[in-house]
């Protein structure tokens, strides 16, 4: 039987209340969001908080909305809400593709974006998506709000820029008109963590890539991305050859370790192949949008 060790519980009534509770209890407190990372960790005694601060009542952390030229996703938005969001699907189909392969439909009903990101598993899918889309994380503490680029959010496996006494409140994604995006993942069985995953978001202008975002998960890519491959593609035509070269560069920049999900060379091969597929589909979608906008 797996049950968490004894723990105290308190429900926060607002973000300000949650912050003051965190401040009051210091590093003995943990925020409880969807609980689908934290409760399993507590059952295994890998996490031993003294008090849980439940933030499920905080509606201010919910909702997906457009704010100027950004899409804002609240920390307590569930995976199911991201999967089914018409706003996200219109601008960034990559979210639907990634969410479809995160866990299973019932887990997605409870697990949250903020919880997943703060757990910061090296194979976490939304981290790769966030890197590809160059999102910005908004973190709140007693002094106010600060922002951290997605590409600087992770300090290492299971470590992020969210410090004790802070809450991740939302992630903001710039809207890129005419962009194409796609996500590719290989897992051992349906709903499992990725053996490797890759996402891409590109815009094409004048027949060449005008912006390229690549996100890579589970293979120890620095900041979940591959900046060399991105830089190589900008200004180049979206040919199969250019994409293959970039995908190889991306794979070469990864440093996967062998584990029960597979040997390192296999994971590196996947990084190349999945980056290639994601870039190819993203480029095709971007071109399609571009042509539509010109009435073709």
Here the tokens at position 188 are: 């051992």
Here the tokens at position 242 are: 């250019």
Confirm or reject binding of residue 104 to other proteins (CB under 8 A).
yes
Q: Find the binding residues for other proteins in span 220-249 (CB under 8 A).
A: none
Binding mask 8-37 for other proteins (x = CB under 8 A): xx-x--------------------x--xx-
Confirm or reject binding of residue 215 to other proteins (CB under 8 A).
no
Confirm or reject binding of residue 163 to other proteins (CB under 8 A).
no
Q: Least distance (Å) from other proteins to the CB of residue 189?
A: 10
Residue whose token pair is 């903001």? 172
Beta bridge partners of 64: 73
Count of alpha carbons within 13 Å of 265, Cβ hemisphere only? 0
Here the tokens at position 139 are: 């973190």
26, 65, 66, 105: residue in contact with other proteins (rule CB under 8 A) = 105
Here the tokens at position 35 are: 């609980």
Tell the burial category of 71 from Cβ atoms under 10 Å away from its Cβ (0-12, 13-18, 19+). buried
Yes or no: say if 184 and 270 are a contact pair by the CB < 8 Å rule: no
Whichever of 54 and 222 has its CB closer to other proteins, that residue is 54
Tell me the window of 19-27, 104-112, 176-184, 274-282 that interacts with other proteins (CB under 8 A): 104-112
What does the binding site for other proteins look like in residue numbers (CB under 8 A)?
Answer: 1-9, 11, 32, 35-36, 39-40, 42-43, 52, 54, 56, 103-107, 109-110, 190-191
């Amino acid at each position: 039987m797996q049950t968490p060790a004894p723990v105290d519980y308190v429900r926060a009534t607002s973000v300000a209340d949650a912050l003051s509770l965190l401040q009051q209890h210091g590093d003995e407190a943990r925020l409880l969001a969807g609980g689908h990372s934290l409760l399993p960790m507590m059952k295994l005694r890998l996490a031993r908080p003294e008090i849980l601060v439940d933030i499920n009542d905080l509606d201010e952390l919910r909702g997906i909305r457009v704010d100027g030229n950004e899409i804002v996703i609240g920390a307590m938005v569930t995976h199911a809400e991201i999967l089914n969001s018409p706003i996200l699907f219109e601008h960034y189909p990559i979210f639907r593709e990634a969410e479809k392969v995160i866990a299973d439909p019932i887990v997605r009903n409870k697990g949250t974006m903020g919880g997943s990101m703060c757990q910061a598993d090296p194979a976490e899918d939304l981290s790769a998506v966030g890197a590809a889309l160059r999102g910005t994380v908004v973190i709140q503490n007693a002094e106010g709000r600060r922002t951290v680029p997605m590409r600087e959010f992770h300090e290492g496996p299971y470590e992020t820029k969210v410090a004790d006494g802070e809450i991740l409140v939302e992630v903001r994604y710039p809207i890129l008109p005419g962009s194409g995006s796609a996500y590719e993942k290989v897992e051992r069985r349906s709903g499992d963590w990725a053996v490797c995953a890759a996402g891409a978001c590109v815009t094409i202008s004048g027949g060449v890539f005008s912006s390229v975002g690549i996100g890579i998960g589970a293979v120890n890519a620095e900041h979940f991305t591959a900046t060399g491959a991105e830089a190589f593609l900008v200004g180049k035509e979206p040919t199969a050859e250019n994409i293959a070269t970039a995908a190889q560069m991306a794979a070469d920049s990864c440093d996967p370790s062998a584990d029960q999900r597979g040997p390192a060379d296999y994971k590196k091969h996947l990084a190349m192949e999945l980056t290639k597929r994601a870039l190819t589909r993203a480029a095709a979608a971007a071109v399609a949008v571009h042509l539509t906008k010109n009435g073709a």
